[in-house]
């Protein structure tokens, strides 16, 4: 077990994933967590990252920092999604290695796997075929992070591990329709339509692709599991091992929100990858499994959305 007084730096601690990790570690008695906002530390600046790690001397770094977004954002800003994500992770990984940080946990995404890989997605499918074009820029950046951690582990024997979550959602999610992912975007759309006399809701694509969703607090528990154990391999999928169609997701959210209007599918818009289901047997075999089912997680997320709707509006949600 890692010491509860160990200095743990959570990069991206204000984001949905980072804040969930911070809450979970605090609830488990970890007392020496550190973080820095993007205004306090620009993770794209190598010298600033080096100075910060030298000053704070963390025992562990958890990299939950990234430039993220949905299909639209990835399509409109390919250079930023590739370059800025590489800068963030490369600076953190390199300085963690150079300054002898004892443990590094790198968080990626299921989009690292090929578009048409066999289902469910196994860790060994990485780099076996072409990526999905709509998010390849982000995926390429995350693949380089995985391979950097693998290389450090192989060459220097350090405890650097990569966790690849499926689609995450939860409290503190991004509900801005120009940059959000499918689940929080649907929550906002159905809520606004309900408030507009149950107006019709237009959703992108055909609704036939299948997706898997993991509540962010379960992701945080997986990170704690990786923190408290020395995992035998360098790469692990994190998910539920269960998926559903986007249409089924929409009707589930519609029911929870209480919208009774029509759903219109705009099939002129892209669907993305036909299916992305994670094989999570490796994590199950060493002792981690998710706890929150999809309906429970969506209800928790919608409750948080309602509690914070005024501040979200002020921040152009």
List the catalytic residues: 138
Q: How many CB atoms lie within 10 A of CB 274?
A: 12
166 annotated to a ligand binding site: yes
177 annotated to a ligand binding site: no
Phi/psi-derived region of residue 99, left when phi > 0, alpha when psi is between -120 and 50, beta in every other case:
alpha
181 annotated to a ligand binding site: yes
**Distances from the Cα of 149 to the Cα of 74, 81, 93, 98, 283, angstroms:** 24, 20, 7, 13, 18
18 annotated to a ligand binding site: yes
1 annotated to a ligand binding site: no
* 3-state percent breakdown (helix, strand, coil) of the chain, nearest 5: 45, 15, 40
16 annotated to a ligand binding site: yes
284 annotated to a ligand binding site: no
The residues near 15 (Cβ < 8 Å, ≥ 6 apart) are 64, 65, 172
23 annotated to a ligand binding site: no
Residue 258 is encoded by which pair of tokens? Answer: 């209480």
Write the DSSP string, 101-129: -SEEEEE--GGGS-TT--SSBPGGGTTSS
17 annotated to a ligand binding site: yes
204 annotated to a ligand binding site: yes
The residues near 132 (Cβ < 8 Å, ≥ 6 apart) are 111, 115, 139, 272, 273
167 annotated to a ligand binding site: yes
168 annotated to a ligand binding site: yes
Nearest to 184 by CA among 22, 82, 309: 309
Q: Using CA atoms, how far apart are residues 278 and 254, in angstroms rounded to an integer? A: 25
142 annotated to a ligand binding site: yes
Phi–psi pair at 172, nearest 5 degrees: 65, 20
Half-sphere exposure of 281 (CA within 13 A, CB side): 7
304 annotated to a ligand binding site: no
- Residues at the binding site for substrate are 189, 204, 211, 271
- Residues at the binding site are 12-18, 107-110, 142, 165-168, 181, 189, 204, 211, 271
- Residues at the binding site for NADP(+) are 12-18, 107-110, 142, 165-168, 181
């Amino acid at each position: 077990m890692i010491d509860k007084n160990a200095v743990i730096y959570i990069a991206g601690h204000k984001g949905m994933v980072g804040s969930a990790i911070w809450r979970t570690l605090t609830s488990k008695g970890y007392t020496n967590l550190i973080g820095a906002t993007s205004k306090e530390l620009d993770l794209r600046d190598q010298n600033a990252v080096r100075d910060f790690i030298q000053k704070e001397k963390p025992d562990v770094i958890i990299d939950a920092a990234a430039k993220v977004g949905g299909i639209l954002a990835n399509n409109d800003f390919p250079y930023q999604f590739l370059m800025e994500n590489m800068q963030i992770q490369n600076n953190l990984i390199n300085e963690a290695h150079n300054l002898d940080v004892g443990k590094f946990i790198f968080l990626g995404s299921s989009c690292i796997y090929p578009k048409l890989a066999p289902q469910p997605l196994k860790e060994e499918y990485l780099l076996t075929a072409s990526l999905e074009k709509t998010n390849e820029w982000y995926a390429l950046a995350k693949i380089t992070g995985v391979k950097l951690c693998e290389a450090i582990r192989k060459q220097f024997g350090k405890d650097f591990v990569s966790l690849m979550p499926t689609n995450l959602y939860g409290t503190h999610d991004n509900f801005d329709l120009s940059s959000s992912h499918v689940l929080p975007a649907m929550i906002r759309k159905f809520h606004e339509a309900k408030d507009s006399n149950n107006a019709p809701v237009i959703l992108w694509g055909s609704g036939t692709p299948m997706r898997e969703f993991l509540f962010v607090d379960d992701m945080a528990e997986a990170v704690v599991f990786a923190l408290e154990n020395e995992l035998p391999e360098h790469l692990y999928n994190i998910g539920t091992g269960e998926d559903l169609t986007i249409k089924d997701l929409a009707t589930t959210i519609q029911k929870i929100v209480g919208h009774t209007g029509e759903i219109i599918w705009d099939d002129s818009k892209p669907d993305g990858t036909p299916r992305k289901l994670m094989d999570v047997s490796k994590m199950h075999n060493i002792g981690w499994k998710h706890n929150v089912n999809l309906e429970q997680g969506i209800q928790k997320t919608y409750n948080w959305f309602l509690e914070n709707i005024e501040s979200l509006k002020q921040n152009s949600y």
